[in-house]
Amino acid sequence: MIRHEQLTAAPKVLLHDHLDGGLRPGTVLELAGELGHRLPRTDADELGEWFVESADSGSLERYLETFDHTVAVMQNAEAIRRVASECVQDLAADGVVYAEIRYAPEQHLTAGLTLEQVVDAVREGFEHGMAHAERPIVARQLLTAMRHKARSMEIAELAVAYRDSGVVGFDIAGAEAGYPPTRHLDAFEYLQRENAHFTIHAGEAFGLPSIWQAIQWCGADRLGHGVRIIDDIRYDESAGDDGKVELGRLAAYVRDQRIPLEMCPSSNLQTGAADSIARHPIGLLTKLRFRVTVNTDNRLMSGTSMSRELALLADAFDYTLADVRWFAINAMKSAFLPFDERLAIIDTVIKPWYAEQLG
């Protein structure tokens, strides 16, 4: 059994966390007050509960509606800087040592900011957050394009332009059904020609065809969620550990190529992608040694944190600290940070801490 305090202290690596899904409820209230934006609740705790309850809808589309409020209060540089700095400080306080935090610059232009000003504000906020965090943390940006819109090429170009200024990759997000990744093929081909990195939200609200396109057409380095890869795995649940497991071609490819799965258990329960933590595909995928990583997705909408996600998994699957170490190293190996910097975090931060605990 892992003590939950131990999970907070443990160095953790987070690859899938949305900036606009991780605001402090109190900050949403204050920023909304300054802007005159109307919110459904006026007390911070109640507002936090409202986000979790509203996101608990069983559908990705309805889950995404809650972002209207967070995006609305992130339209000026000062607000964006504050949110970005608090995000990094909150992650560091929870023991996250490396984080890739994503958001869609195109959603922050309604008050007149340019795409570049949005990315600069996030960069400044992250730098402030790293300098003021209670524990050391390295934070980098992923730029997301919204899959139902048509700005992915522009956002991909922005990610490349900022590759030496805190942006380590690109992503697409938003409603998955009806918006296949191949809609944005030109952006992905451009990124490949630029030797740039990208992940794609796939296999969350839509199944195997979405994952297949993301990998085999678009060339995704990682999969955002990817839970539906389970549909390509045949196993006899009733046989327990003795049951025979058969991987289909796509699942075998994902495992053989060590394609990282950015799994977000609590988020999946809310959007209906999984029906309980105990039955979440992460259990089997971990046992089968896929390149599984554990993530928060949206801390505000799921009322969660990196250590809470790990605690839920540890309770459901009897994970030990050695498993938590495996998740951290898997994630650090899969990060879009340059190899030497990844290795330095593994060798000087992650391994020494776990070695001391595990003996």
Ligand X SMILES: O=c1[nH]cnc2c1ncn2[C@H]1C[C@H](O)[C@@H](CO)O1
297 appears as a binding residue in the annotation: yes
Which residue, 64, 81, 68, is CA-closest to 27?
A: 81
Binding partner of residue 11 among ligand X, Zn ion, none, CB cut-off 5 to 8 Å per kind: none
> Which is nearer to Zn ion, 86 or 297 (by Cβ)?
297
Q: Are 143 and 119 in contact (CB under 8 A)?
A: yes
Q: Which residues bind ligand X (CB under 6 A)?
A: 18, 20-21, 60, 64, 67, 71, 102-104, 107, 144, 173-174, 201, 204, 267, 297-298
Secondary structure (DSSP) of 118-133: HHHHHHHHHHHHHHH-
Partner residues linked to 171 by β-bridges: 144
Active site residue 204: yes
Spatial separation of the C-alpha atoms in residues 329 and 326, rounded to whole Å: 5
The verdict on 297 binding Zn ion (CB under 5 A) reads: yes
Binding partner of residue 21 among ligand X, Zn ion, none, CB cut-off 5 to 8 Å per kind: ligand X
Residue 51, H or E segment: helix 44-55
Q: Are 115 and 28 in contact (CB under 8 A)?
A: no
Tokens 């003021």, residue located: 132
Spatial separation of the C-alpha atoms in residues 235 and 229, rounded to whole Å: 13
Binding partner of residue 103 among ligand X, Zn ion, none, CB cut-off 5 to 8 Å per kind: ligand X
240 appears as a binding residue in the annotation: no
> Which is nearer to Zn ion, 86 or 204 (by Cβ)?
204
The residue sitting closest to ligand X, measured at its beta carbon, is 173
Binding partner of residue 296 among Zn ion, ligand X, none, CB cut-off 5 to 8 Å per kind: none
Closest contact distance (angstroms) between CB of 171 and ligand X is: 8
68 appears as a binding residue in the annotation: no
Of 106, 176, 204, 262, the catalytic one is: 204
Residues 233-262 within binding reach of Zn ion (CB under 5 A): none
Query: Measuring CA to CA, how many Å separate 52 from each of 28, 64, 132, 157, 270?
Result: 14, 12, 28, 34, 9
201 appears as a binding residue in the annotation: yes
Three-state DSSP at 117 gives helix
Q: Binding site: residue ranges? A: 16, 18, 20, 174, 201, 297
Q: Binding site for substrate: residue ranges? A: 18, 20, 174
Give the residue numbers marked as catalytic. Answer: 204
| Residues lying near Zn ion in the complex (CB under 5 A) | 297
Q: Binding site for Zn(2+): residue ranges? A: 16, 18, 201, 297
